[in-house]
Chains A and B, each alone.
Chain A
Amino acid sequence: EADIYQTPRYLVIGTGKKITLECSQTMGHDKMYWYQQDPGMELHLIHYSYGVNSTEKGDLSSESTVSRIRTEHFPLTLESARPSHTSQYLCASRIYNEQFFGPGTRLTVL
C-alpha cells in the first residue's frame, strides 16, 4: 500500500547516543520533509529535500542531519542526543500541493 513509513515508532535512549530515525515512502514523491512537534502543538520544519541529493535546513535550528540518496528514503540522524531533543518527529512527502505525513517517531532522551 502506498504510504509513508517511519521507524522506530517509539525510542527511549540515553544522552550522548547517536540515533537515526528512518522514513520511507512508497508513493514516488520527490519532495520530503521532517517536522518536530511536541504533542498537539505547532509543527516546526527542520529539514526538507526536493529530490535525490538535495537537502536543506528548515526553520527550526536543529542539531540533526539528513540525507537523500534514494527517492523513497529520507533518514534523520542525531549525532549526540540530548534531553532537549525529546519530541515527536514527523516525516512528510508531497506531490503537487498535497502533503502527507508519516505516523511519527516519539523520541525520549534521558
Chain B
Amino acid sequence: GENVEQHPSTLSVQEGDSAVIKCTYSDSASNYFPWYKQELGKRPQLIIDIRSNVGEKKDQRIAVTLNKTAKHFSLHITETQPEDSAVYFCAASRGQGNAGNMLTFGGGTRLMVKP
C-alpha cells in the first residue's frame, strides 16, 4: 500500500524566514497531494493541494512543488509569521479506482515560528 514519509518532524524558524517541509510517497499511481494545517486544538484545514499534472502551485505565501519522477513533493512557506505555527500534514491519494478516494497522511511536521 501507499507509504508517505514526511520530514522534518519539527521545524523552528525565525519570523520572516522561509520554511520547507518535504514528503515522499511510494505509489506511482497517486495523483493528488493535499497539505493540511492543524492548529492546537483545532481540526486539520486544507491549505493547498496539487494534482499530478502540475509541477508547482502557489497561493500567496505558500507554494507546493511536485516531482513525480522522484515521487516527492514539498511545501514552501515564505515570510513566515507567528500564526503559521502549527502542525502540517502532507497526504497522497492511494492510486486509482476506489482506493483513490482515500488519503495516506504523513507523520506531521510541527512548525514553530519565533517572533
Which residues from chain A sit less than 8 Å from chain B, CB to CB? 31, 33, 40-43, 45, 48, 50, 59, 90, 94, 97-104
A31 in complex: contacting residue of B34, B38, B43, B101, CB < 8 Å:
B101
Residues of B within 8 A of A99 (CB): 34, 46, 103
Q: Tell whether, in the assembled complex, residue B34 and residue A90 are in contact, meaning their CB atoms are under 8 Å apart.
A: no
| Top 4 A-B pairs, shortest CB-CB distance | A101-B43, A97-B32, A43-B105, A42-B107
Q: Tell whether, in the assembled complex, residue B40 and residue A40 are in contact, meaning their CB atoms are under 8 Å apart.
A: yes
Q: Tell whether, in the assembled complex, residue B32 and residue A40 are in contact, meaning their CB atoms are under 8 Å apart.
A: no
| Given A41-B108, A97-B93, A101-B43, 14 additional A-B pairs, CB 8 A | A31-B101, A40-B87, A40-B108, A41-B107, A42-B106, A43-B44, A43-B89, A48-B101, A97-B32, A97-B51, A99-B34, A101-B36, A102-B43, A103-B42
B30 CB, min distance to chain A CBs, angstroms: 11
B110 CB, min distance to chain A CBs, angstroms: 7
In the bound complex, what is the Cα–Cα distance between A49 and B40 (angstroms)? 28
Number of B interface residues at 8 Å Cβ cutoff, please give it.
25
Residues of A within 8 A of B98 (CB): 50
B6 CB, min distance to chain A CBs, angstroms: 9
In the bound complex, what is the Cα–Cα distance between A48 and B42 (angstroms)? 22
Closest chain A residue to B89, Cβ basis:
A43
In the bound complex, what is the Cα–Cα distance between A45 and B42 (angstroms)? 18
Q: Tell whether, in the assembled complex, residue B87 and residue A104 are in contact, meaning their CB atoms are under 8 Å apart.
A: no
Residues of A within 8 A of B106 (CB): 42
In the bound complex, what is the Cα–Cα distance between A94 and B106 (angstroms)? 19
In the complex, whether B54 has a CB less than 8 A from a CB of chain A is no
